[in-house]
Amino acid sequence: MLTMIGKRLMFAIPSLIGVVIVTFLLTRALPGDPAAYFAGPAATKEAVEQIRKKLGLDKPLIEQFFRYTADLARGDFGNSLTTGQPVATEIKNRLPASAELTLLGLVVSIAIAIPLGVLAATRPGSWIDHLCRVTTTAGVSLPVFFTGLVLVYVFYFRLGWSPAPLGRLDVFYSAPPTVTGFYLIDAIIARDFETFRSALSQLILPAATLAVFSLAPIARMTRASMLAVLSSDFVRTARASGLSPGTVIVTYAFRNAMLPVITTLSMVFSFLLGANVLVEKVFAWPGIGSYAVEALISSDFAPVQGFVLTMAVMYVLLNLLIDVLYGVIDPRVRLEG
Amino acid sequence: MKRRDFLKSVTGVAAGAMVPAPAIWSAAKAQARSETLLIVSESGPNNLDIHGVGTNVPGYEVSWNCYDRLITHEMKTGPGGVAYYDRDKFKPELAEDMKVGDMSVTFKLKKNAKFHDGAPVTAKDVKWSLDRAVSVGGFPTFQMGAGSLTKREQFVVVDDNTVRIDFAKKDRLTIPDLAVIVPCVINSELVKKNASEKDPWGLEYTKQQTAGSGAYKVTKWTAGTEVIMERNDDWVGGPMPKVKRVIWRMVPQAGNRRALLERGDADISYDLPNKDFVELKGGGKLNIMSVPYSNGVQYIGMNVKIPPFDNPKVREAVACAIPYQKIMDAVLFGLGKPMFGAAANAPTEVAWPQPTKFVTNIEKAKALLAEAGFPNGFETTLSFDLGFAGVNEPLCILVQESLGQIGIKTTINKIPGANWRTELNKKALPLYTNVFSGWLDYPEYFFIWCYDGKNSIFNTMSYQSKEMDAFIHGAVDAAAIGDKAVYEKDVKGFVDLAFKDIPRIPLYQPYVNVAMQKNVSGYQYWFHRRLDYRALVKA
């Protein structure tokens, strides 16, 4: 197992180097001039030049690149111009916010999608199968910002059940001391249940929005893979041997149907983490997606590079984790590995 | 079955958390709420120091409230009964009094003025701060230059409590320029301690924290999320502010900002879409302030170096084909002051902005275009800044449709906010809409920027005319020596010429729209158009 992990990490190095080079070149190729943008509304040509010099953008590209990689090697991602903070700190603060939201959304989504998919597969053509089809189609065809806004409108504006969509905590609470960066966990560690409650109530609507959106791939994949497994020989044998339907479905079929579902989960997770910009915007969530998009809009190179790099690392780690999980679920993979 | 139990418990917790938060509030928290002002806006500061590299406009708001200047403006009653800064009257802030001499001005500092860390404010701090403003480059230096404040030698420490500022030349804008946001007074000893060789002015330090003597100090700032400011109880710059704490949260979604206001959770919001403001006004649940931008105009510009806009007849034809009233109604929902359609016999005033005599007249536009040699029109592009798409996009579509009627086919070119200034700087856009507004509310200030032959970035039309320059400089010189007759003649002269040559077509004066709860009062309009917390009161 360890050799496999080591090997996989080795293979990741060239792709990370590639990511560094490509993001550097891409951000430089973006239209727009950060110097002109940050020189402010009343800047003269000289003022723009002064800013350009300060930002080091007057140097040749190759020199900028070497400076960038040298900084990277020291763990310095550079400074964001739009927020004025070091990129590494920002990502460190914002990644848990996005991750907490995404994970919770995913948990909710799994809790609904997997039973739904399994039930739909065991009774194809029944009402539950149709329910599965309708929910997933609706979930995937409603744009997230729309679902988010509708939820805010109904639960906050109309009914007043949900707190104001003002980010991770109500204005009058302060964040629990940082341990993991996940407010729910940190609040429990600090035994501050009022903050826990506030953090959770802030999380419900955005997590539900994400869950609605990510239902479809998980439920559909569960259903398809369950159907394939259920029609296979070993399930027929199990049934013929008189095993109870529950044992057949859960122990035999479901475990075998898990592999593609796990793969889908990892894809959905990494996709949600970077792409829940709209949810973050709607709920004023201080996450990593909205950070990257804002930086992109203002030609702010450092955060964009930092974001892409972090995402690349996350992908590598996630894929590794999935491979390890495969081994746990399916002994065949373990043996081959 | 375990899964089901788990699900049950999750929904149980979720339902519990859905109970409205105030139910579990302690008395202390309710108290905190009544003394705290919650402001929501789209974007927040990127730097707490206006002298910083690329400090954005929300950053100016922090600087305004957390730092003092030597002098500030008196208030008067402005349009619609709103408290409005008085351009011509100054009052001391950090200074105790101001003596204007022939070629210098002397300030005596308030003896009991202290910085947030308790250090006294001295003449040395003032000089260091002004030196910094003229030395750091970029916007602050440039703004100081607008008032002929360019050299460090101009700022002289007379004694511990007295500072003299020498004029480089007679300039009517020097004193007003000392009351803008840039010449703020910074705790020089504190910042110097935190400066480095690479950063002699300590810009990195003041970017993250406020080091001033102002009415508020930043106690927590999470970039892109919130700014928390506490009142400085030792402030001597003016009457003690009523609001103890200001929490400024960034809420990117306009719909949510509106929902927060309507539910009574947020106290103040600005930068909402015009339509929302009109509806909120109609709703009557909130106080809505709409004040025209001082010295600001949204316009359609034409680059006079690019044919066919080099032909004044073509420019006049375009000016006759703009759907002025439709823009006011359908884009602004009436929240703007028309800058067109003055009566044919109305005399030119000594004021800016003022309306042109243009009205939508398609027949006349067609005739003018034919006269100019384009009876069948021509093709061009119409550009706008996507950063302000809420107004710009519908406006450009209306203009496109209207120009189509006289045969001018336009392709709309949307330029992202980050590129807009770069594109303007290139001066290669043939036809575009833009807005300009000056902090200093003087007609000649606007014209130096927008029409002068030295072709600054805001002279987006590349308009150069010897006659125009003569009027502008005549007005500047006359103002410096107080020659009213010549000044008035020259101002009328440049306004008339701008409307005759019409390189840019004024459309309207935009409004600053602020929505607040009924129990919040004390809003003041300032030239910088940001909030002044010091006057706000929450009942």
* B window 450-489, beta carbon within 8 A of A: 456-458
Q: Which residue of B257, B420, B422 is the best one to mutate when testing the A interface, meaning the one whose CB has the most A CBs within 10 A?
A: B422
Q: Do B32 and A43 touch (CB under 8 A)?
A: no
What gap in Å lies between CA B65 and CA B39, rounded to an integer? 14
Phi, psi torsion values for B382, nearest 5 degrees:
-120, 115
Residue B139 at interface with chain A, using a CB cutoff of 8 Å: yes
Residues 6+ apart with CB under 8 A from A177: A186, A189, A190
pLDDT exceeds 50 at position B20 = no
Helix (H, G, I), strand (E, B) or coil at A96: helix
CB-based contact A155:A161 (threshold 8 Å)? yes
Q: Cis omega before residue B394 (within 30°)?
A: no
pLDDT the model gives residue B110: 93
CB-based contact B338:B297 (threshold 8 Å)? no
Query: Which chain A residues are within 8 Å of B140, Cβ to Cβ?
Result: none
What gap in Å lies between CA A290 and CA A300, rounded to an integer? 13
For A168, name the nearest residue in chain B, comparing CA atoms only: B225
Structure tokens at B454: 């030295």
DSSP one-letter string for B176-190:
HHTTSSSS----HHH
Helices and strands (H and E) in chain B: how many: 18, 21
What gap in Å lies between CA A175 and CA A181, rounded to an integer? 9
User: Out of B18, B223, B226, whose CB is closest to A162?
Assistant: B18
Percent of chain B with pLDDT over 70: 94
Q: Which residue of B34, B222, B257, B435 is the best one to mutate when testing the A interface, meaning the one whose CB has the most A CBs within 10 A?
A: B222
Mean pLDDT value across chain B? 88
pLDDT exceeds 50 at position B337 = yes
pLDDT the model gives residue B18: 44
| Chain A: closest CA distance from residue B302 (Å) | 20
CB-based contact B274:B262 (threshold 8 Å)? no
The residue with tokens 């590995």 is A337
Instruction: Please state the rounded mean pLDDT for residues B341-366.
Output: 92
Residues 6+ apart with CB under 8 A from A163: A156, A170, A198, A201, A202, B20, B21
Handedness of CA A288, A289, A295, A296 (dihedral sign): positive
pLDDT exceeds 60 at position A315 = yes
The residue with tokens 């996350």 is A314
Query: Which chain A residues are within 8 Å of B54, Cβ to Cβ?
Result: 37-40, 51, 81
Note the pLDDT tens digit of each residue in B148-198.
Answer: 999 999 999 999 999 999 999 888 899 999 999 999 999 999 999 998 888
Phi, psi torsion values for B396, nearest 5 degrees:
-70, -35
Helix axes A301-329, A288-297, angle to 10 degrees: 150
What gap in Å lies between CA A309 and CA A332, rounded to an integer? 33
Nearest residue to A232 via CA among A262, A216, A255: A255
User: Out of A55, A85, A111, whose CB is closest to B223?
Assistant: A85
Note the pLDDT tens digit of each residue in A270-301.
Answer: 778 766 788 888 888 888 888 888 787 766 77
pLDDT the model gives residue A74: 83
Residues 6+ apart with CB under 8 A from B393: B384, B414
For A162, name the nearest residue in chain B, comparing CA atoms only: B18
Quick one: DSSP state of residue B114?
B
Note the pLDDT tens digit of each residue in B240-299.
Answer: 999 999 999 988 888 888 888 988 889 999 878 888 888 888 888 898 888 888 899 999
CB-based contact A110:A258 (threshold 8 Å)? no
Q: Do B139 and A43 touch (CB under 8 A)?
A: yes
CB-based contact B109:B165 (threshold 8 Å)? no
Nearest residue to B316 via CA among B353, B352, B364: B364
Instruction: Please state the rounded mean pLDDT for residues A77-96.
Output: 82
Mapped to the 3 state alphabet, what secondary structure does B220-283 carry?
EEECCCEEEEEECCCCCCCCCCCCCEEEEEECCCHHHHHHHHHCCCCCEEECCCHHHHHHHHHH
Q: Do A47 and B139 touch (CB under 8 A)?
A: yes
Helix axes B389-405, B312-321, angle to 10 degrees: 110
Q: Which residues lie across from B37 on neighbouring strands?
A: B246
User: Out of A37, A39, A84, whose CB is closest to B418?
Assistant: A37
Given pLDDT bands bounded at 50, 70 and 90, which one contains residue B125? very high
Note the pLDDT tens digit of each residue in B419-477.
Answer: 777 777 788 899 999 998 888 899 998 998 899 888 777 888 999 999 999 999 999 99
Given pLDDT bands bounded at 50, 70 and 90, which one contains residue A123? confident
For B56, name the nearest residue in chain A, comparing CA atoms only: A40
Q: Do A284 and B253 touch (CB under 8 A)?
A: yes
Instruction: Please state the rounded mean pLDDT for residues B304-310.
Output: 92
Q: What is the ipTM for the molecules in this complex?
A: 0.73
Q: Which residue of B8, B18, B435 is the best one to mutate when testing the A interface, meaning the one whose CB has the most A CBs within 10 A?
A: B18
Question: What type of residue is B411?
Answer: T
Q: Cis omega before residue B353 (within 30°)?
A: yes
* B window 417-436, beta carbon within 8 A of A: 417-419, 421-422, 425
For A199, name the nearest residue in chain B, comparing CA atoms only: B17
Handedness of CA B389, B393, B399, B404 (dihedral sign): positive
Helix (H, G, I), strand (E, B) or coil at A104: helix
pLDDT exceeds 60 at position B25 = no
pLDDT exceeds 80 at position B26 = no
Structure tokens at B327: 């823009």
pLDDT exceeds 60 at position B98 = yes
Instruction: Please state the rounded mean pLDDT for residues B402-407.
Output: 93
Instruction: Please state the rounded mean pLDDT for residues B17-38.
Output: 61
pLDDT exceeds 80 at position B416 = no
pLDDT exceeds 50 at position B10 = no
What gap in Å lies between CA B181 and CA A153, rounded to an integer? 39
Neighbours of B350 (CB within 10 A): 15
What gap in Å lies between CA B53 and CA B33, rounded to an integer? 35
- Rg of chain B over Cα atoms, rounded to whole angstroms, equals 26
Nearest residue to B439 via CA among B210, B129, B184, B182: B182
pLDDT the model gives residue B22: 42
pLDDT exceeds 70 at position B391 = yes
pLDDT the model gives residue B384: 92
Structure tokens at B455: 């072709």
CB pairs under 8 A between A and B: 177
Quick one: DSSP state of residue B331?
I
Residue B225 at interface with chain A, using a CB cutoff of 8 Å: yes
pLDDT exceeds 80 at position A56 = no
Q: Please give the model's pTM, rounded to 2 decimal places.
A: 0.81
- Identify the H or E element spanning B420: helix B417-426
Residue B30 at interface with chain A, using a CB cutoff of 8 Å: no
Given pLDDT bands bounded at 50, 70 and 90, which one contains residue A32? low
* B window 8-27, beta carbon within 8 A of A: 10, 13-14, 16-21, 24-25
Phi, psi torsion values for B222, nearest 5 degrees:
-115, 110
Given pLDDT bands bounded at 50, 70 and 90, which one contains residue B489? very high
pLDDT exceeds 90 at position B368 = yes
pLDDT exceeds 60 at position B304 = yes
Quick one: DSSP state of residue A324?
H
Q: Do A51 and B53 touch (CB under 8 A)?
A: yes
pLDDT the model gives residue B3: 44
Q: Do A33 and B253 touch (CB under 8 A)?
A: no
Structure tokens at A231: 């029609």
